[in-house]
Structure 1
């Protein structure tokens, strides 16, 4: 005999949550079960039959619906609005294609997200804050109350609707388009949300871009800031996609299973894909939380990792994607982590099972973007040495951050900190330009002219750092920090009509950051200690420069072959006499 017993008396026994009832073969043997299991048992009893309880039956239903052309853009399927064939729809594990009528069926479990992969030539609807409306969360009971989250999770969605339809709006397929990319806005307070707004969002409002994407750390642990963040980023005026970072997690939970409940409440699924032009984007949550009070041996309370069900979903997602397309992977934690570009391993976690992802992607040309590193931006080109056997090299790009150096440093006339990263890169964001399957990423320092792509400084090991005194020392070093430069970047300088001098990429701390750190240490404007930069180029100045002002022209050619030129003035002073102080 099967007994269903309330776990407590009174109305409290009927609250939603993971353990509200107990099922027992006798009143003395009780097994805790969830409301999801209870619904299944009641269904079996009402049908008057017996059941063998298999994991595949647990909480599983069938979702049905239509992907259709929403001609009047009212997000309702009206008479005469045709279905769209061949569109991918997923439950996060399996991927199916819509039939000739635009219809699909998918198994769905409680807690699943059902979502559509936006195809090229269509737009997904957006809400008032420009959040793409491409998914349906199926969580009848919502996030379990017993988790006692600090920030609210998913609200109960109730029974699965008879139809879960997805409207798409036809648009011209663009072979050429631009996307905006943010890494780690990571505002931890309302003041820091103002910094993001005034330093970055203001200059992007009305941007001529197809969409934007944030590669994690949308905010910094205080998930109550999500609504204001949404309003502000939504004001840019373009659809904005996101992936979660380690600062977007519910840290109270015991495992990774419920670590993104608040994130999902506001942004939906944590793994999904969409297509623009000839580029297929795959967004992945590669932050695996160990659980409250638990730690991984090397990486702390989380690690970079892709679960087997994520890898299987990627395989299914790509099954309908031509190998002629470019694939762009967006994650928060870098896939391959270096402290300083392609030279030195970092203590920061990379993605532990990168090799498994490389195997899944091996037929495609891949560009990947991530954030997470607070000290450096860099480019890594994965090849056979790293386990990549696909076409060309796998370009992995760790982006400089919107928040830069943790929103620290001297403040400007807008009362916004300089926020320079420890490698000397200003805080900023990226424009990703696509032409067919070709691409170029362009870094933009926040609040600065578009041509501000480098910083030129003169470094003397001792003495005044801004001026050079002729004839008294070995020639000082010209230092050029090419923001977002990498191993393929080349730099040269020319003084007047002299021959150009090729500069050498040097892994060292930026002298500018060393001076800044010393100047503000111990003050309210203190910055983090400098870290070696992966994009610093150095060369000695000529030892025969005459006293006076000289124009130094620096030309850099970046990872994508684009050349930029900057002119700076340096001064060479007469050596001081025995009785005069240096000027």
Structure 2
């Protein structure tokens, strides 16, 4: 693993500081060629680098100097130009300093280094790892963390909040786990990452470990804007809202972002559920290259937000903890944690190119080609015991295409027959219906597992088809293709045996 330098002393001093009057902070952004954190004589300041306090944005002068007002408890950070990052070499990237007291420091310097950033790059999108105890830390350390560590094709990652499940004392472990992936990573807070005991600065402890909770950076040809849209609501509650301070930051930041630049918003709660979304879309009017990444729901879904004459796609990325690390345990002792939408525990990768992007679902521990499950009524005799399946006759098919959306067109080909369209439906995913039946029959949970809180609710990515009745008995491949114009294209295959009968199951047959 690459060496990591720690700059935690000034960060810890900033924790739990009350807000104070604004104070002027001066500093410099410089190119740190030798990585020692000090500006040597041969190292020059960097001109026109944006620096922000999370609201205002100023540019450095020709010598790299800047001056900006910062209050106690606020974050101060540079907005990395494309091709640059912190010289410290730390995997966790955001602000390098959380401002504490004016007696502590009123002069802050940022050491940057050049970094190779290709125009074609892959972003890892990790939603809701949400660990609440050491056992769940171990579940992650057996599954998602080593999988990410083994991927050399991901250039950077965004962790979309709910890093812990209200157990903020686990932050130290979580930060070290992310570092073990060796993927340069940016993080943002979720509703379970807050200090909620009446504290004014609910993201203060998150700031201590992971830096600013709202910031921006550039990578390749993409400008990322990271938001904290978890707003306090009553003593312990929350709502989805972008604060006035963050709205001002977005407006000020966009002044320095070219109109033709890709802009990607990252936040915990989906923008479609954010109460002042309209205010955000008004700031974006006239821009066309827009994309959003969210977590929170523990389901995979995609939404499309109108922005002037353009459309901003929002990918709700599901959860790497699935349905909160519960459900029947597999052969490794890790809970299946099937999500309500019928998708397995997952993350996404996004392949960016200069003018486009491609969305890739990745089930944790599953082959990358596993983009759907295809259920056929009548193939598995155990399904006769699932009451929710009684509405389907033998040969009816449900395809759960994990990354699908309302804009996705799905076709199915049976053997050598011509491909035809499938119908999008809103029903409970077969895998969820089956597990719910085992809970009703008290087959699940087994002694070593915890019951999953699955409900009888519809998945947003299911398609239906009925096998032709005139198919001759035999073995047939089922090929399904799904594609839309928003960076999504997948395929799947299943083999089915057709019997010489169309008789429905005898539901009264004894087990």
* SS of match in other structure, 2:432: helix
Q: Distance in 2 between matches of 1:304 and 1:439?
A: 27
Residue from 272, 280, 289 that aligns with 1:357: 280
Determine whether 1:61 maps to 2:23.
yes
Q: Does 1:238 align with 2:162?
A: no
Q: Are residues 17 and 105 of structure 1, via their aligned partners in 2, closer, same or farther at CA, if it must alter by over 3 Å?
A: closer
Q: Secondary structure at the match of 1:181?
A: strand
* Candidates 301, 306, 309, aligned match of 2:245: 309
Contact 2:95 2:212 in 1 (8 A): no
**Structure 1 position 333 matched with structure 2 position 294:** no
1:482 to 401, 414, 437: 401
Residue 509 of structure 2 corresponds to residue 565 of structure 1? no
Distance 1:64 1:477 in 2: 68
Q: Which residue of structure 1 aligns with residue 48 of structure 2?
A: 86
Secondary structure of the 2:143 match is helix
2:257 alignment partner, one of 321, 325, 338: 321
The total of aligned residue pairs comes to 479
Q: Distance in 2 between matches of 1:461 and 1:202?
A: 35
What are the Cα deviations for residues 258-289 of structure 1, in whole angstroms up to 9, with x where unaligned?
A: 21121111112111000011110000000011
- 1:111 Cα shift? 1.6
Of 418, 424, 439, which residue of structure 1 is paired with 2:336? Answer: 418
Instruction: Please state if 1:505 is matched with 2:419.
Output: no
**Pairwise mapping of residues 108-119 of structure 1 onto structure 2 (< 5 A)?**
108-119=70-81
CA distance in 2, matches of 1:264, 1:244: 9
For residues 18 and 566 of structure 1, do their structure 2 counterparts lie closer, same or farther at Cα, with a shift above 3 Å needed? closer
The residue aligned with 1:132 is: 93
Q: Does 1:77 align with 2:1?
A: no
Any residues of structure 2 matched to 1:482-561 within 5 Å, and which? 482-521=401-440, 522=442, 523-524=445-446, 525=449, 526-527=451-452, 528-558=454-484, 560=486
Give distance in 1, aligned partners of 2:224 and 2:15.
Answer: 35
Q: Does 2:215 align with 1:272?
A: yes
Q: Which moved more, 1:301-310 or 1:356-365?
A: 356-365
RMSD of Structure 2 on Structure 1 (CA) = 2.8
Q: CA deviation at 1:565?
A: 3.0
| Alpha-carbon contact 2:75-2:95 (below 8 Å) kept | no
The aligned counterpart of 1:28 is none
Q: After TM superposition, give the deviation of residue 561 of structure 1 in Å.
A: 5.4
SS state at 2:362 partner: strand
- Which of these residues, 217, 242, 263, is aligned with residue 206 of structure 2? 263
Aligned to 2:169: 224
Closer, same or farther in 2 for the Cα pair 1:126/1:516, shift >3 Å?
farther
Matched ranges for 1:154-193 at <5 A: 159-193=103-137
Question: Contact 1:486/1:559 (CA < 8 Å) preserved in 2?
Answer: no
Q: Pick closer, same or farther for the CA change 1:494–1:270 going to 2, 3 Å.
A: same
Q: What is the rounded CA distance, in whole Å, between the counterparts of 1:514 and 1:567 in structure 2?
A: 22
Counterparts of 1:246 and 1:193, CA distance in 2: 19
Q: Are the aligned partners of 2:94 and 2:210 in contact in 1 as well (CA < 8 Å)?
A: no
Deviation of 1:548 (Å): 3.7
Structure 1: which 5+ runs fail to align? 1-15, 20-33, 37-57, 141-157, 294-300, 337-349, 468-472
With over 3 angstroms needed to count, the CA separation of the structure-2 counterparts of 1:161 and 1:251, relative to structure 1, is closer
What is the alpha-carbon distance in structure 1 between the residues aligned to residue 261 and residue 396 of structure 2?
A: 45
TM-score scaled by length of structure 2: 0.87
Which one scores higher on RCO, CA 8 angstroms, separation ≥ 6?
2
The 3-state SS of whatever aligns with 1:329 is strand
Match of 2:193 in 1: 248
Q: Give the deviation of 1:560 after TM superposition.
A: 3.9
Cα deviation per residue 1:534-582 (whole Å; 9 max; x = unaligned)?
1101011111233343222222225545543322122233459xxxx89
Distance 1:556 1:115 in 2: 42
1:349-398: CA deviations, max 9, x gaps? x1111111111122322101111113x32111122xxxx21x52111121
| Alignment of structure 1 residues 282-297 onto 2, 5 Å | 282-292=225-235
Distance 1:461 1:172, change over 3 A: closer
Q: 1:133–1:279: structure 2 CA closer, same or farther, 3 Å change rule?
A: closer
Structure 2 gap ranges (5+): 1-13, 386-391, 504-508
CA deviation vs aligned residue, 1:226-262 (integer Å, no higher than 9, x gap): 11111111111121111110000111015xx321121
Q: Please identify, of 358-367 and 95-104, the stretch whose mean Cα deviation from structure 2 is larger.
A: 358-367
- Residue aligned with 1:258, SS: coil
For the 8 Å contact 1:212–1:241, the answer to whether it is kept is: yes
C-alpha distance in structure 2 between counterparts of 1:354 and 1:408, whole Å: 33
Structure 2 residue aligned with 1:453: 371
Q: CA deviation at 1:60?
A: 2.7
* 8 Å Cα contact 1:175/1:435 also seen in 2: yes
CA distance in 1, matches of 2:193, 2:176: 17
C-alpha contact 1:284 1:331 (8 A) present in aligned 2: yes
Whole-angstrom distance in 1 between the partners of 2:238 and 2:257: 32
Distance 1:392 1:247 in 2: 33
